[in-house]
């Protein structure tokens, strides 16, 4: 089995905050401008001026990805400090108001705002996208069909947005609730073939629903050109180590499903409507909830299902060189997700400012 094909690319969105008030603060593109030489185009502005997006190179293994993300986070933190600002990673800012945030001057962003209106203006959220290479787009759509089942499991591990506009939302990940206002989000449908998927996109373009396939904002999508699957469901991770653990899980699941395919075996494919039930539970309860085992038709604790997932991928982890990264999943299960940690800080102090300070302090870990 050719495991070298399972390359990794990671994108993260970071918040930029004022170190005095801990409110979101526009960096007026200065952070992006200052990183152009140091990071060779790996940093760009986002729709809101208080957001910075980074992207790694195409990484051959998970440890290469770890080094790249660590370098990106360190550089962003240093440049933010030079502007008297802080960087942090949370799926939502705990208390800043979206309608007070400035939009970046860019024709693409103005086009989206003009079309989406307040759905776009209020989309003040911070995510993590993981791109995994596969041998062909035909294989990519096969893996995507099966991997949908595991999306809620990894989403529960990534939950890092319990607060929104100064409120405890009761969700471990409120970010997805904000993003759900966009069209073409959530768990994708099952596609019989890559041709069916491409024809779906052609219909949307032909009927002026979209002008390009990047406006498919599902939790995972097959790239319209490259042989990759992009996972888009996760909140941005609180720490580098958590980011890398989640990316390693996506890579290992793709490799395992590929291995099964080569052995003429398939993983069970479930309906979108069923998987959505688990996604909602993951958003609401994170690691503390119950997900549905659709094969047995019973509710099962999330931690138990994640344990079963780790057993499922165990035979490809060493070949991928990701044993260390996967082992860190146990640390998340033991210590809690970013959301759990944010909630503990707020319960101790009752101050959202302390939560933001905590998020900034964890940024380089």
Looking at the structure of the chain, the number of domains it has is 1
Contact between 128 and 276 under an 8 Å Cβ cutoff? The reply is no
- How, if at all, do strands 228-235 and 298-301 pair? unpaired
Among candidate residues 158, 126, 8, 12, the one with its CA nearest the CA of residue 76: 12
3-state SS class at 107: helix
E strand or H helix that includes residue 198? helix 194-206
DSSP alpha helix (H) spans, 215-267 = 240-262
CA neighbours closer than 13 Å in the CB half-sphere of residue 230: 20
The per-residue pLDDT for 164 is 97
Contact between 122 and 241 under an 8 Å Cβ cutoff? The reply is no
Rg, Å, the chain Cα set: 20
Give domain status of residue 208, yes or no. Answer: no
29: left (phi over 0), alpha (psi -120 to 50) or beta: left
The per-residue pLDDT for 37 is 73
The per-residue pLDDT for 151 is 97
CA 173 to chain centre: 11
The per-residue pLDDT for 364 is 94
Among candidate residues 237, 213, 279, 181, the one with its CA nearest the CA of residue 12: 237
Tell me the C-alpha to C-alpha distance, in Å, between residue 229 and each of 103, 105, 306, 359: 29, 30, 21, 29
Both tokens of 257, joined, read 């499903």
- Would you give the DSSP letter of residue 253? H
Give domain status of residue 199, yes or no. Answer: no
Give domain status of residue 209, yes or no. Answer: no
Give domain status of residue 114, yes or no. Answer: yes
The per-residue pLDDT for 114 is 79
DSSP string, 42-88: -EEE-SBTTEEEEE---BSSHHHHHHHHHHHHHHHHHHHHHTT-EEE
Give domain status of residue 134, yes or no. Answer: yes
DSSP string, 274-332: HHHHHHHHHHHHGGGSEEEETTTTEEEEHHHHHHHHHHHHHHHHHHHT-HHHHHHHHHH
The per-residue pLDDT for 249 is 98
The per-residue pLDDT for 35 is 81
The per-residue pLDDT for 108 is 76
| pLDDT tens, residue order, the chain (365 aa) | 677 789 999 999 999 999 999 999 987 678 888 887 778 788 887 777 889 999 999 999 999 999 999 999 999 999 999 999 999 999 999 999 988 887 777 777 777 777 878 887 888 999 999 999 999 999 999 999 999 999 999 999 999 999 999 999 999 999 999 999 888 999 999 999 999 999 999 999 999 999 888 889 999 999 888 899 999 999 999 999 999 999 999 999 999 999 998 887 778 889 999 999 999 999 999 999 999 998 889 999 999 999 999 999 999 999 999 999 999 999 999 999 999 999 999 999 999 999 999 999 999 99
Contact between 128 and 53 under an 8 Å Cβ cutoff? The reply is no
CATH number, position 349:
3.30.590.20
Which residues form the domain of 28?
Answer: 3-192+218-362
Give domain status of residue 334, yes or no. Answer: yes
Give domain status of residue 29, yes or no. Answer: yes
The per-residue pLDDT for 28 is 67
- Could you tell me which residues come within 8 angstroms of residue 326 by beta carbon, excluding any fewer than 6 positions away? 245, 248, 249, 252, 310, 313, 317
Give domain status of residue 205, yes or no. Answer: no
């Amino acid at each position: 089995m050719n495991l070298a094909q399972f390359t990794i690319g990671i994108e993260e969105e970071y918040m930029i905050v004022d170190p005095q008030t801990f409110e979101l603060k526009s960096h007026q593109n200065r952070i992006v401008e200052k990183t152009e030489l140091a990071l060779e185009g790996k940093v760009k502005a986002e729709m809101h001026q208080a957001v910075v997006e980074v992207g790694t190179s195409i990484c051959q293994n998970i440890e290469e990805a770890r080094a790249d993300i660590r370098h990106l986070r360190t550089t962003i933190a240093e440049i933010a400090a030079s502007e008297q600002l802080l960087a942090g990673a949370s799926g939502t800012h705990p208390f800043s108001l979206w309608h007070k945030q400035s939009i970046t001057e860019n024709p693409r962003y103005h086009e989206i705002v003009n079309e989406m209106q307040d759905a776009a203006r209020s989309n003040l959220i911070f995510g993590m996208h993981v791109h995994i290479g596969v041998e062909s787009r035909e294989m990519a759509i096969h893996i995507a069909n099966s991997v949908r089942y595991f999306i809620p499991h990894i989403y529960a591990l990534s939950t890092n947005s319990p607060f929104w506009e100064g409120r405890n939302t009761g969700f471990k990940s409120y970010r997805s609730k904000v993003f759900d206002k966009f069209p073409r989000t959530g768990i994708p449908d099952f596609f019989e073939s890559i041709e069916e998927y491409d024809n779906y996109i052609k219909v949307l373009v032909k009927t002026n629903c979209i002008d390009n396939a990047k406006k498919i904002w599902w939790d995972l999508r097959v790239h319209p050109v490259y042989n990759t699957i992009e996972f888009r469901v996760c909140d941005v991770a609180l720490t580098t180590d958590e980011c890398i653990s989640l990316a390693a899980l996506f890579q290992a699941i793709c490799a395992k499903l590929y291995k099964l395919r080569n052995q003429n075996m398939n993983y069970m494919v479930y309906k979108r409507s069923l998987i959505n039930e688990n996604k909602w539970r993951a958003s609401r309860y994170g690691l503390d909830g119950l997900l549905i085992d659709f094969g047995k038709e019973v509710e099962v604790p999330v931690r138990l299902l994640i344990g079963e997932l780790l057993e499922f991928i165990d035979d490809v982890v060493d070949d991928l060189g990701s044993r260390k990264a996967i082992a860190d999943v146990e640390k998340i299960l033991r210590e809690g997700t970013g959301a759990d940690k944010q909630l503990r800080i707020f319960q101790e102090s009752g101050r959202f400012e302390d939560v933001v300070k905590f998020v900034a302090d964890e940024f380089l870990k």
